[in-house]
Amino acid sequence: MILITGQGVISALGVNVNENWAHLQQEKSAIKKGIQSFSSPYLVGQIELSNEELKQLAQVDGDYSRTALLGMIAARESFASHEIHPEIRTGFISGTSVGGMDLTEGEYKNYLTENETDRLETYKQHSSGIAAYQIAQLLGATDFINTISTACSSAANAIMLGARLIENNQLDRVIVGATDALSLFTISGFRSLMIYDSEWCAPFDERRKGLNLGEGAGFIVLESEKSQKITQSKVLGLLSGWCNASDAFHQTASSPDGQGAVLSMQGALKRANLKPEQIDYVNAHGTATPNNDLSESHALKQIFKEIPPFSSTKAYTGHTLAASGGIEAVFSLLAIEHQCLLPNLNFQNPIEETGLMPVQKLVYEQNIKHVLSNSFGFGGNNSSIIISKY
């Protein structure tokens, strides 16, 4: 049994779990016009703190990428009730898609357009594994350090790897999740693919045009039962299922029938030993791109005879890329803790082809035992995890 004994999150909704939960209850999107020069023409889910303010919040000083700082804040919150213990092998697995790109892209501009006046020291933060070393050292969780980079499924894959390392007795406890900062690189990237919505994104809606990017980090702590007996940490839930599968259809687009998504959901259900009808809520990937939401809808219809309540929370936070599966793992834990269904904001009309209706209002007094959370990335990288009530 893999126990979840910690959670931490920073997103446009707030800098910790409490702020995120408070904002979720207001049923209002945190996506707004960007405040940085590169983000100002667009709608983004940004954290309205400068890097200097983030350093104060993280209680660190020195050269760090924004990606690392966001990761430090969320990972530290998740591990706050924990201590390093000589008998407990503790690891740290992060995920990121941009790494230190938030710093690199600025310096590289100086190189290109300002007579090579870039500060070379800055590039030390570029390599995507650097943030994990910095965060792991901050927490003292250094028995295994790793970073996954599978684009938007990175966090889910970090969670999955952590669970497997505990199962195979390589670690007793591991902090898992992911972090990504907003960058010109990714905004331009999704614009070049013509899937960046200039309006507020509308997941699973017939008129959806694309995503709004966001930034943030989400981490949870996984622990073996043996380890939890020693730490006595509060159990927030169980990680009962996980699976990663490859769609092998296209480098960026999902297959029309959602084959990879079907495989990952099936695999996670099998691993959790659950029947589809036992899933009480699906936190969908739901990026609001025409392709993803249609493909995911088809996949949901193949898995579930009767579609369970489902929603995408990306209309709240924006699509936080690698971090999304970490942030949404925390949201799934909140749905279990508060026995509620989270709404899919900005929804008006179902996709004609599939007719699926997501949850539109926050509803309490539900009986939520098992939550399925999907994360699908570039390269046809599909991951599903199942979080269950303890």
Partner 1 sequence: MYFIHKASSINCQKAYQHDNIFRDLITPEDYLMLEEVDYKSLIPPAALRRMSTILKNSLCAAHQLKTEQDFDAIIVGTGLGCLQDTEKFLKTIHISQTETLSPTAFIQSTHNTIAGQISLALNNHGYNMTHTQHTFSFEVALMDAMQAVDDGMNQVLLGAAEEYIPFLDRLSDVVIPHDYPLSQGVSFFNISKTPAQIGITSIQFFNFKNPEEIRKVIHDTHADLLIYNGAKDESIHVKNQVNISQFTGFYLSNSAFAMHVGYDYLKNNPLANKVIIWNNLSQNHQSILVIERK
The set of long-range contacts for 105-108, using a CB threshold of 8 Å and a minimum separation of 24, is 105/183, 105/184, 105/185
Q: Decide whether 5 or 153 has the Cβ nearer to partner 1.
A: 153
Strand partners, 381: 246, 377
Touching partner 1, residues 347-376 (CB under 8 A):
none
Judged by CB under 8 A, the residue of 247, 280, 293, 296 near partner 1 is 247
Quote the least distance from Cβ 164 to partner 1, whole Å.
5
User: What is the torsion angle, in degrees rounded to the nearest 10, for the CA atoms of residue 192, residue 195, residue 197 and residue 203?
Assistant: -160
Per rule CB under 8 A, is residue 189 in the interface with partner 1? yes
Written as six digits, the tokens of 268 are 């996670």
Quote the least distance from Cβ 342 to partner 1, whole Å.
28
Judged by CB under 8 A, the residue of 115, 117, 192, 273 near partner 1 is 192
Quote the least distance from Cβ 30 to partner 1, whole Å.
26
Per rule CB under 8 A, is residue 270 in the interface with partner 1? no
Judged by CB under 8 A, the residue of 112, 226, 256, 363 near partner 1 is 112
Judged by CB under 8 A, the residue of 10, 15, 79, 143 near partner 1 is 143
Per rule CB under 8 A, is residue 209 in the interface with partner 1? no
Quote the least distance from Cβ 100 to partner 1, whole Å.
11
Judged by CB under 8 A, the residue of 381, 384, 385, 387 near partner 1 is 381
Per rule CB under 8 A, is residue 254 in the interface with partner 1? no
Per rule CB under 8 A, is residue 191 in the interface with partner 1? yes
Q: Is residue 308 within 8 Å of 301, Cβ to Cβ?
A: no
Judged by CB under 8 A, the residue of 21, 108, 200, 304 near partner 1 is 108
Site string for partner 1, 287-326 (x = CB under 8 A): ----------------------------------------
Site string for partner 1, 10-29 (x = CB under 8 A): --------------------
Written as six digits, the tokens of 334 are 């909140």
Q: Is residue 283 within 8 Å of 371, Cβ to Cβ?
A: yes
Per rule CB under 8 A, is residue 344 in the interface with partner 1? no
- The size of the interface with partner 1 (CB under 8 A), counted in residues, is 61
Quote the least distance from Cβ 15 to partner 1, whole Å.
27
Judged by CB under 8 A, the residue of 37, 113, 115, 117 near partner 1 is 113
Q: Is residue 14 within 8 Å of 23, Cβ to Cβ?
A: yes
Supply the angle between the helices 51-58 and 66-78 in degrees, to the nearest 10.
30
Per rule CB under 8 A, is residue 147 in the interface with partner 1? yes
Quote the least distance from Cβ 76 to partner 1, whole Å.
18
Per rule CB under 8 A, is residue 142 in the interface with partner 1? yes
Per rule CB under 8 A, is residue 380 in the interface with partner 1? yes
Sign of the four-CA dihedral 325, 326, 327, 331: positive
Task: Give residues in contact with partner 1 (CB under 8 A).
Answer: 97, 99, 104-105, 108-109, 112-113, 120-121, 123-124, 126-130, 132-133, 136-137, 142-151, 157, 161, 164-165, 168, 170, 184-185, 188-189, 191-193, 244-252, 259-260, 263, 377-381
